[in-house]
Structure 1
Amino acid sequence: MKKAIFLFASVAALATACNNAPEGDAATTADAQAAAAGSGASYSIDTTASVVEWVGTKPVGQHNGTLKIANGEFSIADGSITAGKFTIDINSLTDLDMEGEMKGKLEGHLKSADFFDAAKYPTASFVITAVEPVNGDSAATHKISGNLTLKDSTKNVSFPARVTVADNTVKAIANFNIDRTQWGMYYGNDQSLGDKFIRPEVNIKLNINANKL
């Protein structure tokens, strides 16, 4: 009996998780802003030690994967980021929860015109417009704002991040959600589709490491 109750509770918990949007801070979205004027030392993003993770959800489950950063840099003055930018290689998009033919089909669909349209827009970019210190938050040290360009749309997004600056290195990590429809990705965004509905919220995790030039 106890085993049956435990099994039911586990299934219920899984179903609840599948019915929720991905976990993360909600990014604030606004019109594009002027890029921050950089000052201080230059740090180059280590593309081999940096990654963009993504999670998309639907009522019956989710998919997760990664994107590679092609290049980027930060400007650092007095121990803080003053400016920065990086480019994301859309063709590097990889799904991590599937294998074989289904994995290939999902990756191909995400790179198609229904979503990123990688053939026409092979890169995405993020350009910092402001960095503000955050007090009283155990998880974040700064609020970062920047222009995120996906396909042919650019929106300014703001999100909390933990930034660590050392003598020769910078590390920035963040976990936030964006609404993909803000960048014209509407595929599956109709709740009348039932189990085929794909939520507009997409979770983004940034793990970026940079080294002083």
Structure 2
Amino acid sequence: MKKTIKNLAIVALVAFTTFSFTNRVGDKKEIKTDKSKLVWKGYKVTGSHEGTIAIKSGSLTFDDSKLVGGEFVIDMTTIGSTDLQGEYKGKLDGHLKSDDFFGVEKHPTAKLIFTKVTASGKNAYAVTGDLTIKGKTNPVTFSISVYGNKATASLKVDRTKYGVEYNSTSFVENLKDKAIYDEFDLVADLEF
């Protein structure tokens, strides 16, 4: 009898320890890629350009109703401008896909994995994540708001950290009106 009680106590202790140190995976909500949108905006001395990139796949992870994680794969082959038409649109879209910018032939996807999520207000979170573009991974921080089955996030990305140095004043002098600023904006409207 003593041996049975001792064995049960050991099993209970092992189970308690295991559950105490096991992270709960949470409730993973898949992103509806056909109802979600990723918009980019890049800036240059003489103005700006904007466009879209398709989300290939993604999910947000919740513990009850609290956001605890997320992961996204972006289809870089779909990058395109929405502020131009015709020949100029074709030229810019082609240039963005070239090795001068995102080199989509060699690097067809980009990836974002949340590494830390902290509540910053009602329905709002501060996120740190690992962003991979052109095979280079760097940490990024951004904010995300979640309302029901929708979320909105916005972040600034320094393109030079990912080897996108074309017409950057950080690398080329005297560009004058040809200069393109290093940071660009990404805004995601997500539905899950």
TM-score range, shorter chain: 0.7 to 0.9
1:192 aligns with 2:178: no
1:155 corresponds to which of 118, 122, 138? 138
TM-score, scaled relative to structure 1 = 0.74
Is residue 51–residue 82 contact of structure 2 (8 Å, CA) maintained in 1? yes
Deviation at 1:38, TM superposition (A): 6.2
After TM superposition, list the pairs within 5 Å mapping 1:1-213 onto structure 2. 39-135=25-121, 141-164=124-147, 166=148, 169=149, 171-190=150-169, 192-210=174-192
Deviation at 1:122, TM superposition (A): 0.3
User: What secondary structure, in the 3-state scheme, does the structure 2 residue paired with 1:119 have?
Assistant: coil
Cα distance in structure 2, aligned partners of 1:160 and 1:75: 16
Is residue 141–residue 155 contact of structure 2 (8 Å, CA) maintained in 1? no
Segments ≥4 residues shifted beyond 3 Å: none
Is residue 124–residue 143 contact of structure 2 (8 Å, CA) maintained in 1? yes
* Worse overlay, 80-89 or 117-126: 80-89
The number of residues matched between the two structures is 167
Q: Which amino acid aligns with 2:141?
A: S
User: What secondary structure, in the 3-state scheme, does the structure 1 residue paired with 2:95 have?
Assistant: helix
Greater gyration radius: 2
Superposition CA RMSD, Å? 1.6
Is residue 27–residue 64 contact of structure 2 (8 Å, CA) maintained in 1? no
Provide Cα deviations, 1:174-206, integer angstroms capped at 9, x if missing partner.
Answer: 222221111111110025201100010101111
Deviation at 1:101, TM superposition (A): 1.0
Q: Which has the higher contact order (CA 8 A, sep 6+)?
A: 1
Cα distance in structure 2, aligned partners of 1:107 and 1:38: 42
TM-score, scaled relative to structure 2 = 0.82
Q: Which amino acid aligns with 2:65?
A: G
Deviation at 1:42, TM superposition (A): 2.0
Cα distance in structure 2, aligned partners of 1:131 and 1:49: 24
Can you give the 5+ residue segments of structure 1 that lack an aligned partner in the other structure? Answer: 1-36
Can you give the 5+ residue segments of structure 2 that lack an aligned partner in the other structure? Answer: 1-22
User: What secondary structure, in the 3-state scheme, does the structure 2 residue paired with 1:102 have?
Assistant: helix
User: What secondary structure, in the 3-state scheme, does the structure 2 residue paired with 1:192 have?
Assistant: coil
| CA separation of 1:85 and 1:38: change in aligned 2, threshold 3 A | farther
Cα distance in structure 1, aligned partners of 2:25 and 2:90: 43
Is residue 103–residue 134 contact of structure 2 (8 Å, CA) maintained in 1? yes
